[in-house]
Every structure is written in C-alpha cells, then in structure tokens.
Amino acid sequence: MSSVEDKTSPPFLTMIVPGLLVAATGVGAGDLATASFAGSQLGLAILWAVLVGGLFKFVLTEGLARWQLATGDTFLEGVAEHFGKVVGWLFLPYLLLWSFFVGSALMSACGITLLAMIPLFDDVQNGKVIFGFIASMIGLCLVLVGNFKLFEYVMGICIGIMFFTVILTAILIWPGTSEVLSGLLVPSIPDAKGSGITWTVALIGGVGGTLTILCYGYWIREKGRVGPEFIKLCRMDLAVGYAMTVLFGIAMVIIGSTLEIEGRGANLLVTLAKSLENSLGVWGYWLFLVGAFSAIFSSLLGVWQSVPYLFADIWRLFIKPTTTGLSTNLTQSKPYRFYLLGLSIIPLLGLLMSFKEVQKLYAVIGAVFIPLLAVALLILNGKRAWVGEFVNKPATVAMLTLSFLFFGLMGWMKFMG
C-alpha cells in the first residue's frame, strides 16, 4: 500500500496532499462548533486567535517532519530511543482514551448531521446511533479494502466540498472587509460576561487537531518522502494545509458572529444550519450542512486511517519489540487492522452511555499532550548530534516554548474547571 510521489498527477496537488490530510483530519465537529460559538459570543474581534492557533500547529508539525526526515526515525522511534520505553507505556493509555472519545464524538457528529439531512427516524437518539454506525462502517471499508490512493481521493472530495461550501457561506453573509481585517490584525478579547478569555483560548487550541498531527509522518512515508531533501517540500505542503485550516476557522467565526446560537457539538452545527436558513433560505441550510458533514466525515476517515499507525508503531516498539522498521507496510500488520476494527466499533458505546468524570479526565490528559510534544521537539530537534544542521532555529525555539506555555495553561484551566 505504500507509494511514491505520483508522477502522473498534477505536481502541485501531489505535493500538498499530506498537508491537506493532516489539516482536514484535525477539523472535527468540536472545532467547528468552538469556532462558530466563539464567533457568536465574541464576534469578529477574536479572528486573530485562529491565525495564532494555525501558526502553533504548523510549527509543531514541521518539527515532527523535520525530525523524521533528518534522522529516518518516526517521532515514536525517537521517543523510544532517547526517552526510554516507559514513555510508550505512558502514551498508550492516552491513545486508548483519545481514540474512544474522539471516535465516539465523530460518530455522533456524523449521525446527527446525517439525520438532519435524511430525517428517517423520529427518535433522534436512535437515528444518531444508526447513522453514526453507518458512517463508521463506510470509513472502515474505505480504509480496509482500499489503498492510500483511494484514501487520498475520497479525502480530496470531502476537503473540496467542505472548503467550498463553508467559505461560500461566509462570503454570502460577509460582515464587512474592514471589520474582518480589524479582527485579524488588531488582537483583542471581548469580555463576553467573563468568558472571553476562556473562549479565545479554546479557539486557539482547537485549530488543527492534537494527536492527529503525529500521523503526518506516516503519510509522508506513504508518499515516498524519505531524507532531509524533502524538508522544504513538507514545509510548503504544511503551509498550504494550515492556511486552508485557518481560512476555514475564520469562515466559521464569521458565520457564527452573524447569528445568536446555542447548543453543543454537532447539535450546535445543526442549529447553526437552521439559523442560516432564516437568512439565506433553504439552500443556505443545505449548503452549510453538506459542508459541515464533509468536514466531519473527512476527519472521521482521516482518524480511522491514521491513528492505527500509532498503535502499530507502539506495538512494534514497546509491546512486542521487533527490528522491523517502517519499510514493512504497517497497514497490513495485525496490530494496525486490529486497532482499526476496534476504533470503528467500540466508540459506539459512547453514544449510549455517560462518562462525565472520565470525560473530564480525558480532557485534562488531552490538553497535556501538546505541551509535552513541544518539550519533546525542543529536546529531540535541539541536539545537533541527532539532527545535524536541521537543529531548531531561535525562532522555532521561541514558538515551541510559547506552545508549551500556552497549551500548558489550557491544561491547567481544564484541570481547575
């Protein structure tokens, strides 16, 4: 299933595929809802926060790619060699928790949006579960029976639809160029009844995903990128991918700023679509809902395809050590397929049960991941003996340090909340 760069495809599209994949996979229902709700509560004044969030995630993902291309090792291989295998055993519980709650959230979001588009069930709960299961099985089949080219193709369709529809919706309700530029270029945080800082921090943290950025290294391997000569190419495709993520986030804030909306998660997105129907008509409702579903399903498909890579790597590095490296196709390994199957089925339990305290624990653990990643990249890419001339530059050190401080603050806020 591993491939090299396709010489018959348009060069630019071929080059930016991994960046688009990591960007699209990081855009989930929660991120869409956070951006739109932040816009509704705080208006256009916090558009700058989307730019900051995109920059943070770009620096982190570029650091991951630079480490892998400079050393030939994945991030997890570097962690195993330089920090010890105990880190892998600490990472595994987080991966399991993340997979369950994110998988459940994606199934739920797909189910709710599909039910809004195809109202075949009177019982919302049953409809959500059934449609969520169907979406999960479609994702499973696409990954299991397809190949990386099919994955790229389907993701490309979803990315195109979500980008076109959401950007077009924002343009149709455009609040004014001067107001948008002011929000982007003049940082401020409205009070919003004391919740301004909370929503701004959430908006910055929600841009571009968390754990899924680790999967970028496996995708560039699928594209045949091995060696430091591909670092510039990766920087370019990541810049394009995160630029699209930022534009998407800005569009969601703009859409939210024009409406008064309430709700949570995908429910909020359906409410938002209904609000747009009042201002744009029924086609505005469908335009946004189709775009939102494309964004959510592309995230589900991206998670289903990429996160099992991490488990397969953990298995061969920490659980059942082997000398076999990434030259062997991880997607054909038993650990990869076992985890894929579990990921597509087990999180369905989350649609039926309530785990309030466990979810709070997951939120805290999840918020800790990014600052720990920033510290790891400061160390791994900070030693010339390990990465040679591709050592962190002063500007990168500053951004990684800021990422550590900011996301560490986010973790503390969630812990105290």
> How far is the C-alpha of 216 from the C-alpha of 171, rounded, in Å?
31
Tell me whether residue 24 is in a domain: yes
Share of the chain residues as helix, strand and coil, in percent rounded to the nearest 5? 80, 0, 20
Q: What is the 3-state secondary structure (H, E, C) of 23-35?
A: HHHCCCHHHHHHH
CATH of the domain at 91: 1.20.1740.10
Average pLDDT over every residue of 241-252: 91
Q: Please tell me the distance from the alpha carbon of residue 220 to that of residue 208, in angstroms, as a whole number.
A: 18
Tell me, what's the pLDDT at 1? 43
For 177-204, the DSSP string reads: HHHHHHHHHS-----TTTTHHHHHHHHH
What's the maximum distance between 2 C-alpha atoms anywhere in the chain? 63
Structural domain range at position 380: 11-416
Establish if 133 belongs to a structural domain. yes
In a domain, 406, yes or no: yes
Using one digit for the tens of pLDDT, what is the confidence trace for 214-228?
A: 999 999 988 889 999
In a domain, 3, yes or no: no
Assess if residue 6 is contained within a domain: no
* Token pair belonging to 318: 């920490």
**Is 60:400 a contact under the CB 8 Å cutoff?**
yes
pLDDT average, residue stretch 137-143: 95
Residue 124 has pLDDT above 90, yes or no: no
Looking at every residue in the chain, the average pLDDT score rounds to: 85
CA atoms of 161 and 164, how far apart (whole Å): 5
Q: What's the rounded Cα separation, in Å, for the pair 409 and 222?
A: 35
| Local confidence band at 416 (pLDDT 50, 70, 90 cut-offs) | low
Output the pLDDT for position 333.
86
Token pair recorded at residue 217: 């290294």
Q: What is the pLDDT of residue 409?
A: 77
The per-residue pLDDT for 414 is: 60
| pLDDT for 393 | 95
| CA gap 127, 145 in Å, rounded | 27
Confidence of residue 13 (pLDDT cuts 50, 70, 90): low
Residue range 53-68, pLDDT digits in tens:
899 999 999 999 999 9
Q: How far apart are the first and last CA of the chain?
A: 45
Q: What is the pLDDT of residue 332?
A: 82
Six-digit token string for 311 = 């488990």
pTM: 0.89
Contact between 300 and 133 under an 8 Å Cβ cutoff? The reply is no
Task: Report the number of distinct structural domains present in the chain.
Answer: 1
> For 347-365, how does the pLDDT look when each residue is reduced to its tens digit (9 = 90+)?
998 877 654 444 455 555 5
Band the pLDDT of 262: cuts 50, 70, 90: low
| Statement: residue 281 has pLDDT above 80 | yes
Answer yes or no: is 219 within a domain.
yes
> What tens digit of pLDDT does each residue of 41-54 get?
888 999 999 999 89
Token look-up 């039926």 returns: 352
Please report the pLDDT score of residue 148 as a whole number: 86
pLDDT range class, residue 6, cuts 50, 70, 90: very low
pLDDT digits (tens, 9 = 90+) for 194-211: 677 777 877 887 787 788
- The whole-number pLDDT of residue 16 equals 81
CB atoms near residue 70 (< 10 Å): 19
Q: Average of pLDDT values for 26-48?
A: 83
CA–CA separation, 395 and 59 (whole Å)? 10
Instruction: State residue 70's pLDDT score.
Output: 96
Q: What does the pLDDT look like over 382-397, one tens digit per residue?
A: 999 999 999 999 999 9
Q: Does 171 score more than 80 pLDDT? A: yes
**Does 54 map to a domain?**
yes
Q: CA 271, CA 260: separation in Å to the nearest integer?
A: 10
For the cut 60, the answer to whether the pLDDT of residue 369 exceeds it is yes
- In 3D, which of 308, 155, 170 has the Cα closest to residue 241? 155
Residue 411: inside a domain, yes or no? yes
Amino acid at 316: R
pLDDT above 70: percentage of residues in the chain: 87
Considering only CA atoms, which of 242, 222, 220, 218 is closest in space to residue 233?
220
